[in-house]
Amino acid sequence: MLRMSTPNLCGGLHCWAPWLSSGILCLCLIFLLGQVGLLQGHPQCLDYGPPFQPLLHLEFCSDYESFGCCDQHKDRRIAARYWDIMEYFDLKRHELCGDYIKDILCQECSPYAAHLYDAENPQTPLRNLPGLCSDYCSVFHSNCHSAISLLTNDRGLQESHGMDGVRFCHLLDLSDKDYCFPNVLRNNYLNRNLGMVAQDPRGCLQLCLSEVANGLRNPVSMVHAGDGTHRFFVAEQVGVVWVYLPDGSRLEQPFLDLKNIVLTTPWIGDERGFLGLAFHPKFRHNRKFYIYYSCLDKKKVEKIRISQMKVSRADPNKADLKSERVILEIEEPASNHNGGQLLFGLDGYMYIFTGDGGQAGDPFGLFGNAQNKSSLLGKVLRIDVNRAGSDGKRYRVPSDNPFVSEPGAHPAIYAYGIRNMWRCAVDRGDPITHQGRGRIFCGDVGQNRFEEVDLIVKGGNYGWRAKEGFACYDKKLCHNASLDDVLPIYAYGHAVGKSVTGGYVYRGCESPNLNGLYIFGDFMSGKIEKPRNGRSGIFAWAALRPVPSQG
């Protein structure tokens, strides 16, 4: 098990890669989206290097002190040039034009300098004045046109200064208006992720990984109890849960050992087993936690079972084996695609993520299980585990579940059209603004072509088996006007990875650069990706999934 963080700030997020045995590793992130994708919204300096945080305070271009393309040396050079120009100015012109000249000169320090000066387009020469937005440019021109010959030795620009400004500003126009100054500073898309990731001199992203545990057999879940003890509970697919203390040591005796009732085999590719663990939000007071595992019932029928258990009164590091209360059992028609996530939403309800029942292409029934709202397979379920329901059920269906009044639909269904959501997580929200709080992110494993990441919404249809990622899978269902599906927030093809694991939105305090990034794994690829909008990334920690589940 490894711990991941940005350089110099090792700590924070926990990930697993048990085949890497020790020490701190630094991985170079591989940009997979290619040049074209990255050029949009891609900060870069005039020397084509990545922008950076200057080591020393910038006296002059102080707007770019926290992130940009100038060190103190360059800043001083720009300041000297500014004062050279001001020599020619009387007080009145200084007042009128000083700020414009300063702003324009300081664009060399902008994290988007390469765009502002057209350095990225090999077909056009490097500009010696940055691209200016037309409103700004015409005000500048009307106030300060006599300064133009001091700012540039470009003949074309110098000669145009006597005219009405239209030609001058046309010459300073950028074909991509997003990048012109000062719009580039106001564009949220271009600015929100600035300075969020560290890069080495070659533009590579780096992360530190340090081992926090080893000797585990297919660890599939790592959770804390939310009780302030800072213990970690790590579940193995075979049905054993271990306690790790805050000092990193593991208790000798397992917290829970269900090896005898959990259904799995030692064969590679068995997707059954102990698949999920979640502590009750009020665990500290009620000692309850919930487990999700494969089992055989008395008639030898394969099922997934969701149960409630309690921690022993006598020993907080031991589950009370006699406390198990089965909450829900769902028959599994095939041994693959068993889902496995349990979590509590901010609403206090328990969310259960099931697979489509298995085989390939969701073959059961007329149009598969996932689109069939009578089936609990291929669904996100939402139940209230704090109240008993009618007819002896150990849970109640929340009255605002989306399909409670739809004839034939199971009332526990919260969202559908799911193939095999294996890992989902609740966003804790921005530590200061709380933005994003409560969102549920999931990875949904694809069939033969696309892996997807979804944001779960009430009543949402996530498309399977009509669609896989953004593409049609079952053409007839896909073109049915009633499909009305929620598209993934991200999907990638099988050249990138073949089995999405899912992950977490980082909201920790140790690596602020990672705040708001969705960091998730792919079981098969072994690659790490940072898509162009900077909101998600792929890691490949094989241990996060017991097995691949395509096909």
Ligand X SMILES: *[C@@H]1O[C@H](CO)[C@@H](O)[C@H](O)[C@H]1NC(C)=O
> Which residue type sits at 498?
K
Please state, in angstroms and rounded to a whole number, the distance separating the CA atoms of residues 277 and 285.
Answer: 18
Angle at 387 between CA 391 and CA 459, to 5 degrees: 85
Q: Is 66 in the site for ligand X (CB under 6 A)?
A: no
Q: Which of residues 135-154 bind ligand X (CB under 6 A)?
A: none
> Which residue type sits at 436?
G
Q: Give phi and psi for 224, each to the nearest 5.
A: -110, 170
Shortest separation between residue 276's beta carbon and ligand X, angstroms: 22
Answer for which of 294, 375, 501, 525 binds ligand X (CB under 6 A) is: 375
Answer for which of 336, 372, 513, 536 binds ligand X (CB under 6 A) is: 372
Residue found by looking up tokens 């080591």 in the block:
55
Residues in Cβ contact with 115 at an 8 Å cutoff, skipping those fewer than 6 apart: 44, 131, 174, 176, 179, 184
Using the rule CB under 6 A, give the single segment among 118-126, 240-248, 334-342, 369-377 that binds ligand X.
Answer: 369-377
Residue found by looking up tokens 């000092």 in the block:
247
Say how many residues touch ligand X, by CB under 6 A.
9
- 3-class DSSP state for residue 335? coil
Closer residue to ligand X, CB minimum distance, 365 or 534: 365
Shortest separation between residue 192's beta carbon and ligand X, angstroms: 39
Shortest separation between residue 325's beta carbon and ligand X, angstroms: 25
> Measuring CA to CA, how many Å separate 173 from each of 98, 237, 239, 494, 550?
22, 60, 64, 41, 50
Shortest separation between residue 464's beta carbon and ligand X, angstroms: 14
Please state, in angstroms and rounded to a whole number, the distance separating the CA atoms of residues 394 and 284.
Answer: 21
Using the rule CB under 6 A, give the single segment among 84-92, 135-143, 182-190, 365-373 that binds ligand X.
Answer: 365-373
Using the rule CB under 6 A, give the single segment among 176-184, 309-317, 371-379, 463-471 that binds ligand X.
Answer: 371-379
Q: How far is CA 251 from the centre of its chain?
A: 32
> Measuring CA to CA, how many Å separate 128 from each of 39, 158, 183, 187, 218?
21, 12, 19, 23, 58
Please state, in angstroms and rounded to a whole number, the distance separating the CA atoms of residues 536 and 517.
Answer: 5
Closer residue to ligand X, CB minimum distance, 433 or 482: 482
Q: Which of residues 461-480 bind ligand X (CB under 6 A)?
A: 476-477, 480
Shortest separation between residue 489's beta carbon and ligand X, angstroms: 25
Q: Is 374 in the site for ligand X (CB under 6 A)?
A: yes
Using the rule CB under 6 A, give the single segment among 98-106, 238-246, 275-283, 368-376 that binds ligand X.
Answer: 368-376
Shortest separation between residue 497's beta carbon and ligand X, angstroms: 31
Q: Is 285 in the site for ligand X (CB under 6 A)?
A: no
Closer residue to ligand X, CB minimum distance, 82 or 367: 367
Closer residue to ligand X, CB minimum distance, 21 or 374: 374
Q: Which of residues 69-108 bind ligand X (CB under 6 A)?
A: none
Please state, in angstroms and rounded to a whole number, the distance separating the CA atoms of residues 537 and 532.
Answer: 10
**Going edge to edge, which strands form the sheet with 379-383?**
341-344, 350-353, 379-383, 413-416
Q: Which of 28, 69, 22 is nearest to 45 (CA)?
A: 69
Shortest separation between residue 441's beta carbon and ligand X, angstroms: 27
| Residues found in the chain | 551
> Which residue type sits at 405?
S
- 3-class DSSP state for residue 463? coil
Shortest separation between residue 481's beta carbon and ligand X, angstroms: 7
Using CB positions, name the residue nearest to ligand X.
365
Closer residue to ligand X, CB minimum distance, 7 or 365: 365
- 3-class DSSP state for residue 416? strand
Closer residue to ligand X, CB minimum distance, 45 or 376: 376
Q: Is 366 in the site for ligand X (CB under 6 A)?
A: yes
Closer residue to ligand X, CB minimum distance, 458 or 479: 479
Shortest separation between residue 293's beta carbon and ligand X, angstroms: 21
Shortest separation between residue 394's beta carbon and ligand X, angstroms: 21
> Measuring CA to CA, how many Å separate 513 from each of 25, 31, 347, 426, 493?
19, 18, 29, 20, 27
Tokens of 270: 């068995």
Closer residue to ligand X, CB minimum distance, 175 or 480: 480
Answer for which of 299, 392, 482, 495 binds ligand X (CB under 6 A) is: 482
Shortest separation between residue 386's beta carbon and ligand X, angstroms: 27
The pattern of x and - marking residues 421 through 460 that bind ligand X according to CB under 6 A reads ----------------------------------------
Shortest separation between residue 45's beta carbon and ligand X, angstroms: 54
Answer for which of 365, 436, 512, 534 binds ligand X (CB under 6 A) is: 365
Q: Is 253 in the site for ligand X (CB under 6 A)?
A: no
- One DSSP character per residue, 184-249 reads HHH-HHHHTTTT-S-B-TTS-BEEEEEE-----SSEEEEEE-SSSS--EEEEETTTEEEEE-TTS-
Interface positions with ligand X (CB under 6 A): 365-366, 372, 374-375, 476-477, 480, 482
